[in-house]
Amino acid sequence: MLIIDIVLSFIWAFVIAVFAIPSIIYVAHLKNLLDEPNFRAVHTNLTPRLGGMAIFAGFMSAVTIFGTVTPQIQRLLASTLILFFIGLKDDISSVSAFKKFFVQILATGIVMFLGDIKVNDFQGFMGVHQIDDRFAYAFTFLVIVGLINAFNLIDGLDGLAGTLILINSAAFGYFFFRFGGGTYEPFALVAFCLMGGILGFLRYNFHKAIIFMGDTGSLVCGMIVSVMAIEFVQMKAVESAPSIAVAILIIPVFDTARVFAFRILNGKSPFSPDKNHVHHILIRSGLNQVQTVLCLSFLNIATIVAAISMAHLGDNFLMVFYISYFIVFLSVLEYLSRKNPRV
């Protein structure tokens, strides 16, 4: 029955998104709710940025119709609803960074304290196993808020954020379906509902995009993916799960960590916008938008496959692998950045 529910929920979310977006685009142009190109933007045309409405509509309706709404998923849906509305307001009339951060704290609190969703066991990662609740809540807060903002920051290229979310959801969905059992199986359906909504959105967002995800989509998707990552680690059914979770999320995590570090080292606020993201550098190196999205997607999938194939070697070995990975990737990006300086 789960397979049938997954297939139906995926199709439902996809169809809702595909049929909703043309109406959203029409209203956005009618009401002039358009994203204007700025110094950071790669696009050159006025483009609607309310695509997250279609993703959310497909996802939320599919989960509530076909899914088993456990207490954890109930709290997840409540938190995404809150983030949806603050993202929608920001896409329409702009919201201060403080208000957005406050709502992110509220949404994170709902899943942590009411949904009891937290990282309380590192499963021997760097020698750490069970951890104190206070540290668990603090670490979980950093994971959720960090990933929400990471997906918001990576959403700077046609199809990039959507494709990465599709890959992330597919990976987590497979593991929940294969190893979840009765407790975690409902999250498999959550993953495939998100995949359906994202795939329907990508029909209009892949280059040349006629609609963007906006904060409405990136905040909601960031919350869903972060909760799936936490539940995947806490499932304790996959060898070296913490390291595999890092591999699945490697692109947004690496990009955010890198730009924040460079901004701080240059005496700037970590939240100050610039054109130093991974996709900006690859574009300046000569790749077009489609090539850049495919390059980063391939890199994401290759890292996941490598982590799974080396999972038996343990988390500590994989940590050394990631450090080496970061050093090589940083060196390549630094070379490309110096060779093709920002304009």
Beta carbons of 278 and 295 less than 8 angstroms apart: no
Beta carbons of 88 and 53 less than 8 angstroms apart: yes
Spell out the alpha helix ranges (H) of the chain.
2-30, 51-66, 71-93, 97-109, 133-154, 160-179, 181-205, 214-235, 241-248, 250-265, 278-284, 289-309, 315-339
Cα distances from 341 to residues 287, 327, 338, in angstroms, run 15, 20, 5
- Residue 227: domain span: 2-339
Q: Count of domains in the chain?
A: 1
pTM listed for this prediction: 0.94
Beta carbons of 61 and 14 less than 8 angstroms apart: no
Q: Is 319 exposed, middle or buried (0-12, 13-18, 19+ CB in 10 A)?
A: middle
Residue 131: predicted pLDDT? 87
**Per-residue model confidence as pLDDT tens for the chain (343 residues):** 579 999 999 999 999 999 999 999 999 999 998 887 765 666 667 899 999 999 999 999 999 999 999 999 999 999 999 999 999 999 998 899 899 999 999 999 999 999 999 999 887 777 777 888 899 999 999 999 999 999 999 998 999 999 999 999 999 999 999 998 888 989 999 999 999 999 999 999 998 899 999 999 999 999 999 999 999 999 988 888 999 999 999 999 999 998 998 888 888 888 788 888 999 889 888 889 999 999 999 999 999 999 999 998 888 888 888 888 878 887 887 777 777 776 5
Residue 182: predicted pLDDT? 82
Residue 40: predicted pLDDT? 62
Beta carbons of 50 and 218 less than 8 angstroms apart: no
What is the per-residue burial (b if ≥16 Cβ within 10 Å, else e) of 259-280?
A: bbebbeeeeeeeeeeebbbbbb
